[in-house]
A and B are shown apart, each in its own frame.
Chain A
Amino acid sequence: MIVDCNAYIGHYAFRRLHYNTGDGILQLMDRAGIDRACVSSAGAIMYRNSQAGNEELLEEIEPHRDRLIPFAVLNPTYAAWERDITWCKSVLGAKGLRLYPSYHMYKLSDFCCSEMIEAATELGMMISIPVRAEDSRQRHWLVQAPDVPLNDIAALVAGHPNARFIVLEGLGFRGSDLVRKADELPHNYWIEMSRPDPLFDKELQFVKDALGAERLVFGTGICFKYPEPALLRMKVLQATEDEKADIYAGNMLRLLGE
């Protein structure tokens, strides 16, 4: 079984996405052999009112709840996020939040962010943080949204030991506190593996050996990205079959409470 913890549907402001509907992403998942995926709204990244993206997401996933697991995108600096997060939990059925501090103009260390994380945790939702929405080398000329520093995430997980975090689209873990100071941090964060390579520079292998297979989760970045590179990374990663099964699905299913 394969569960993709890093998937998106909807319109992205700066590039045409294909397979970006509920039906479309299932097509891509079938091509890649992915059984279930945690999806959030690509539109919500740039909407002023992210909640509108969550409402679009609901329409798309409703017929496919057996395979598409909703994650909400909310901005803690925007009006009425407290009301929206309740809707996201009770109506959308969101299992987690996705945070975009660089796009929504706040820092992970800001009080408003802390408040929203605590509220999400209270509702049983996990927190996923995409380090980037897309490669900085091709960002739209109007956008200045730096990648989220991994050490900022390390500080965040330390400050919220009861919350559960998934780091999406990260790279450069070797030098980050998430790996270097892993023993000092609560074991409340998981690393999604779609960018580090297990070959040549062997970063993915390094992360797996440093944190253990139980702290890695499978993700692709569809429909922003092709699923095949992530599948290939898993294929060539040096790990036992049991470890791979955990990375592909087991770890994420446990996080989902299944």
Chain B
Amino acid sequence: MLIDSHAHIKYPGPAVGGGPGEPPPGSDEWAMDQAYVDAADVLGIDVLVCSCLTPKPATPEIFRTGNDRVLEAMEMWPGRIWMHTYVNPGHMREAIAELGRTRAAHDDVVGCKLYDDHVCSDPVCYPIVEKCIELGLVIVINQGHGTDMLFNKPHHRSDAGDIADLARRYPQAKLIADHIGGGGDWEWTCKTLAEVPNVYNEISGSGVDEGMLEMQLEYLGAERLLFACDMSMCAGMGKFDALPCSEEEKQKIGSDNFLRLCGRL
């Protein structure tokens, strides 16, 4: 079994055109999602764990609409799509209610996605984290540590340091740091998270630097790595092919670690 632990469903509405993977204007509204599932078929990916990329700032109405879209996709492709519920912690009461609503709606709602609305170590996120612990949800955090002066770091993007702070405050929380191949300085990220046992790194992102996987394995071990693509399909799968580890360890990275995080193994 192969689980892409970082995937997306398109926000409902007509395609704008021009974005990665976005079909031309006038296409079927599900065309982008169908293309994602088709790509997963070609690569042998069994499950796509999806959140919805919504317009920003995400009001409660917007994040509910996005989450409903993923729930709809779960009905269209049963068993293929699992869900990370996306919420904006700035709308605390509505966000907590949304986590409960989606968790009750489908068994395959397994996680919560935190994006760049607030840095994850901001106290505004604490009630969300506590609710996730209560519901047994993993918490997936969009992260990046840009090093270069041209890198346009969104003001509220978390980096590994923020994730480490949150993880130490909530050692019972199960945290995933997004895309080591798409989050800037992966050496910094790896070293920062090495000693934080309740944080897992996933390997997605368009970056395929030689040495990246070796360092993750050395510092975190195969037990704390997860397979993912985040829409960079051949980059993600190609890194999985390149993993310098045993088949047993690959199985952990490809599915078992994520299943264990979700309480399914």
Binding site for B on A (CB under 8 A): 15-19, 28, 134-141, 143-144, 146, 175, 195, 197-202, 221-233, 236
Contact = CB atoms under 8 A, between A and B. Distances in A.
Given A18-B210, A229-B239, A144 B150 contact: yes
B209 A225 contact: yes
A225 B208 contact: yes
Most buried by B among A16, A200, A224, A226: A200
Given A19-B210, A224-B210, A225-B209, A232 B234 contact: yes
Interface in B8-59: 18, 20-22, 35-36, 38-39, 42-43
Which 7 A-B pairs have CB atoms at the shortest separation, nearest pair first?
A229-B238, A139-B148, A199-B39, A201-B21, A228-B242, A228-B241, A226-B242
A17 B211 contact: yes
A200 B237 contact: no
Contact of B234 (A222, A224, A236): A236
Interface in B166-212: 182-187, 206-211
Contacts of A175: 18
B243 to A, nearest CB: 9
B2 interface: no
B251 interface: no
Nearest to A221: B208
Contact of B238 (A28, A137, A202, A232): A232
B77 to A, nearest CB: 15
Nearest to B21: A201
Given A137-B144, A233-B234, A228 B239 contact: yes
- Kindly state the interface size class of chain B when it binds its partner: 35 or more
Given A138-B148, A199-B234, A236-B43, 4 more contacts: A138-B184, A141-B149, A144-B149, A229-B234
A131 B75 CA distance: 42
Interface in B125-153: 144, 146-151
Interface of B: 18, 20-22, 35-36, 38-39, 42-43, 144, 146-151, 182-187, 206-211, 213-214, 231-235, 237-239, 241-242
B234 A136 contact: no
A226 B210 contact: yes
Contacts of A143: 148
6 contacts: A18-B210, A137-B184, A141-B149, A201-B35, A224-B210, A229-B235
A208 to B, nearest CB: 14
Contact of A232 (B147, B150, B241): B241
Nearest to A175: B18
A58 to B, nearest CB: 23
B235 A197 contact: yes
